[in-house]
Amino acid sequence: MTARNVLFIMCDQLRADHLGCYGHPWLRTRNIDALAARSVCFENAFVSSGVCGPSRMSYYTGRTATSHGATWNRVPMNIGEITLGEYLARHRRSLALAGKTHVVADEDGIARMTLAGNNEALAARLRVGHFHELDRYDGHHEPGSESGYPAWLRAHGYDSARPWSDYVISVQDDAGGVHSGWKMRNVHWPSRVLEAHSETAYMTDQAIRYIEQEGDTPWALHLSYVKPHWPYVAPAPYHNLYSRDQCLPLKRSEAELVDQHPVLAAYREQEECRNFARAEVSDKVRPVYQGLIQQLDDHLGRLFDTLERLGRFKDTLIVFCADHGDFLGDHWLGEKEIFYDTVQRVPMIVYDPSPLADATRGTRERRFMSNIDVVPTVLDSLSLPIDDARIEGRSVLPLLRGEPCGDWREFVVSELDYSFRRARLILDRQPDECRGWMVRDARWKYVHWQGFRAQLFDLENDPDEFVDLGSAADLEPVREAMHRKLGEWQRAARTRVTVNDALVLRTTDVHKSKGVFYGEW
């Protein structure tokens, strides 16, 4: 059965372990949990990179960071890349956007094609990754004209040229003093916007309005929240909904700081890690981070109620996911990027409206899903063709429907290009020497770093990844085997993007039919 609509929900920097349905003991994410109860919840969903930009471009193209070329934030994809919105457009469908994409225009590529002036419509679509922008809001900057949010805030009485800086991420203390939410020391105070005027509330409103307006016309929406990403500022009452003892314990061990891997040591010198290494910081931030998730869940309740009211659970594919997690002091790290499961593993809930998926509802799937699987899953659900010359992910519909799908992947890979980071300067490396790759299977996690020793973790005996076995002599065969998997993965990349397999099948060994008779005696 073919879905009619697509609702592709992403949260930014949301850890998988910070949802009730993924085992959080205190967070009350009842709406997300209710979605999981009618969906399949992927226990082992991983992103292709623990950085917003590359992870999102993989979500949008179905291709790895190596293949789409956006190896870090602010790096445009190769102009030859095709995104979900463009695949849908080929079938007269559009992909609406409410929220964040992190798509950066390849202005050099557009200039090279002389699209500007000659083909403004296409240039404009490429600049936004072929989304139809209801309201684009990339977050953590003062929004510009791409979003209606600043004007809406002003219309609601927030009288400022910079309402995001002055209200949304500013906080007010008990004495009326105003402080910047950029400083994590201040985030226990509430935001200066009312909850109903917060980023999460605003973007949920956009989504609900769109879904209501579309009615029975088939639609596809990417609802992409900027929260719980920093600045870790929440409006009341979410700023102090949780106490420190309702947060997960810090996942770190003093042993991790002994004989540190050089790249990790460099990361731990960066400001965000030095700060998150102090209990004072994580104690302050984690309750607010949970509050932001609680807020998201409450607004998702509004959204799901709308779907229910309109009968949209009958005909809408729903994907709920995140672009990566957040260390919040785990492993003596702040932010993201590095290859621990805390950041690389993401929540992934897939709701298939087809009755064929009824048998799996509420189940948990342990096979590996990757963010590159979302594009083929969406296309498959809509019964649209999947471009096998380009798309490297696989549709997970067979997993949802208990259908045979042959061998499934036994490992996932994630990538990092830290050349834009201070860690590069600390390590005194050139921009082309800063790549790392993680290979993770059910038992082992292996990390290959350019120019440094590898890392290895035994996930069975050390699920918290505290013991780096990268130098353990007896495990060289394991590292070797994992390194081979990295090679397999690299060699399986879809590089022949201009010719699909069907054309290869049709044109194998056809030279004589084209008048070419080499090799005849």
Q: What are 398-404's contacts with CB under 8 Å, separation 24+?
A: 399/40, 399/360, 399/365, 399/367, 399/369, 400/40, 400/350, 400/352, 400/356, 400/357, 400/360, 401/352, 401/354, 401/356, 401/357, 401/359, 401/360, 402/359, 402/360, 403/356
Is residue 487 part of the contact set for a copy of itself (CB under 8 A)? Answer: yes
Alpha carbons 492 and 501: distance in angstroms, whole number:
14
Is residue 334 part of the contact set for a copy of itself (CB under 8 A)? Answer: yes
Rule CB under 8 A: choose which of 145, 430, 461, 513 binds a copy of itself: 430
- How buried is 172 (Cβ within 10 angstroms: 0-12 exposed, 13-18 middle, 19+ buried)? middle
Is residue 435 part of the contact set for a copy of itself (CB under 8 A)? Answer: yes
State the amino acid at position 234 in one-letter form.
A
Is residue 213 part of the contact set for a copy of itself (CB under 8 A)? Answer: no
Is residue 118 part of the contact set for a copy of itself (CB under 8 A)? Answer: yes
For the segment 12-31, give every residue that binds a copy of itself (CB under 8 A).
none
Alpha carbons 397 and 435: distance in angstroms, whole number:
33
Rule CB under 8 A: choose which of 174, 215, 249, 521 binds a copy of itself: 521
CA atoms within 13 A on the CB side of 230: 20
- Residue 264's nearest CA partner among 482, 60, 497, 454 is 454
How far are the Cα atoms of 140, 158, 170 from residue 289, in angstroms, in the given order? 15, 24, 16
Question: In this structure, how many other beta carbons lie within 10 angstroms of the beta carbon of residue 458?
Answer: 16
User: Segment contacting a copy of itself (CB under 8 A): 35-43, 214-222, 261-269, 414-422?
Assistant: 414-422
Alpha carbons 310 and 333: distance in angstroms, whole number:
44
Q: Which is nearer to a copy of itself, 76 or 353 (CB)?
A: 76
Q: Which is nearer to a copy of itself, 168 or 350 (CB)?
A: 168
Q: Which is nearer to a copy of itself, 229 or 401 (CB)?
A: 229
Q: Which is nearer to a copy of itself, 229 or 239 (CB)?
A: 229
Q: Which is nearer to a copy of itself, 140 or 209 (CB)?
A: 140
For the segment 149-168, give every residue that binds a copy of itself (CB under 8 A).
none
For the segment 170-209, give every residue that binds a copy of itself (CB under 8 A).
180, 182-185
Residues with Cβ within 8 Å of residue 144, at least 6 apart in sequence: 150
Tell me if 336 sits within 8 A of 61, measured CB to CB: no
Tell me the closest approach of the beta carbon of residue 359 to a copy of itself, in angstroms. Answer: 30
DSSP string of 176-188, one letter each residue: S-EEETTSGGGTT
For the segment 67-86, give every residue that binds a copy of itself (CB under 8 A).
67, 69-72, 74-80, 82, 86
DSSP string of 213-268, one letter each residue: HHTTS--EEEEEEEEESSS----TTGGGSS-GGGSPPP---GGGGTT--HHHHHHH
Q: Which is nearer to a copy of itself, 113 or 467 (CB)?
A: 113
Q: Which is nearer to a copy of itself, 19 or 328 (CB)?
A: 328
Helices (H), 382-466: 397-400, 422-427
Alpha carbons 368 and 357: distance in angstroms, whole number:
18
For the segment 93-112, give every residue that binds a copy of itself (CB under 8 A).
106, 108-109, 112
Is residue 428 part of the contact set for a copy of itself (CB under 8 A)? Answer: no
Q: Which is nearer to a copy of itself, 62 or 76 (CB)?
A: 76
For the segment 346-405, give every residue that binds a copy of itself (CB under 8 A).
388
For the segment 37-56, give every residue that binds a copy of itself (CB under 8 A).
none
How many residues touch a copy of itself under the rule CB under 8 A: the total is: 89
Is residue 473 part of the contact set for a copy of itself (CB under 8 A)? Answer: no
Is residue 450 part of the contact set for a copy of itself (CB under 8 A)? Answer: yes
Rule CB under 8 A: choose which of 174, 407, 474, 509 binds a copy of itself: 509
Rule CB under 8 A: choose which of 425, 428, 460, 461 binds a copy of itself: 425
Tell me the closest approach of the beta carbon of residue 391 to a copy of itself, in angstroms. Answer: 12
Q: Which is nearer to a copy of itself, 122 or 236 (CB)?
A: 122
For the segment 270-299, give every residue that binds a copy of itself (CB under 8 A).
270-273, 275-276, 278, 281
| Residue 13 Rama label (left phi>0; alpha psi -120 to 50; beta) | left
Rule CB under 8 A: choose which of 192, 252, 421, 440 binds a copy of itself: 421
Tell me the closest approach of the beta carbon of residue 257 to a copy of itself, in angstroms. Answer: 19
Q: Which is nearer to a copy of itself, 364 or 496 (CB)?
A: 496
Tell me the closest approach of the beta carbon of residue 355 to a copy of itself, in angstroms. Answer: 32
Helices (H), 113-158: 115-118, 120-127, 149-155
Tell me if 387 sits within 8 A of 82, measured CB to CB: yes
| Residue 408 Rama label (left phi>0; alpha psi -120 to 50; beta) | beta
For the segment 214-273, give every residue that binds a copy of itself (CB under 8 A).
230-231, 270-273
Tell me the closest approach of the beta carbon of residue 122 to a copy of itself, in angstroms. Answer: 6
State the amino acid at position 115 in one-letter form.
L
